[in-house]
Amino acid sequence: MTTREFLLHLPEKVDVNALTGMSACFHFILSGEEGGNVTVKLEDGRMTTTEGITGIASCVIKADADDLKKVFKGELNPMLAILKGKLKISNQGEMMKFAKLLGWM
């Protein structure tokens, strides 16, 4: 499964009860061979994903698709990826909420 496919299937992996009261829009801009853009929106107690960039982002995440996949799998420490410039996040506070929601923290 590519990183883009993983992101597009996130709504199937999230506990909808954890989404209550959350509102955010994430733009994932992925470079590399398996790259592409994905928008993840949290609103009204649900998560939706779409291919491409839509809406106004509360957080933009830029990374090589392979590096982000390693972060998701726990093979690359997210803080180390940020420090090395492999992962660029426009709003780290918003990303922390997202990471906790998905059990990554």
- Domain with residue 32: its CATH number is 3.30.1050.10
Q: Which helix (H) or strand (E) holds 11?
A: none
pTM for the model stands at 0.91
Q: Specify the number of domains making up the chain.
A: 1
41 within domain boundaries: yes
Average pLDDT over residues 66-85: 92
Calculate the CA dihedral of residues 67, 27, 25, 17 and round it to 10 degrees.
-30
Inside any domain, residue 51: yes
The answer to the question of residue 81 being in a domain is yes
Q: What is the pLDDT of residues 5-33, one digit of tens each?
A: 999 999 998 887 888 888 999 999 999 99
Give domain status of residue 23, yes or no: yes
Instruction: Domain of residue 79: give its range.
Output: 3-91
Q: What is the mean pLDDT of the chain?
A: 90
Q: Is residue 99 part of a domain?
A: no
Q: Is 48 among the domain residues?
A: yes
Residue 103 lies in a domain: no
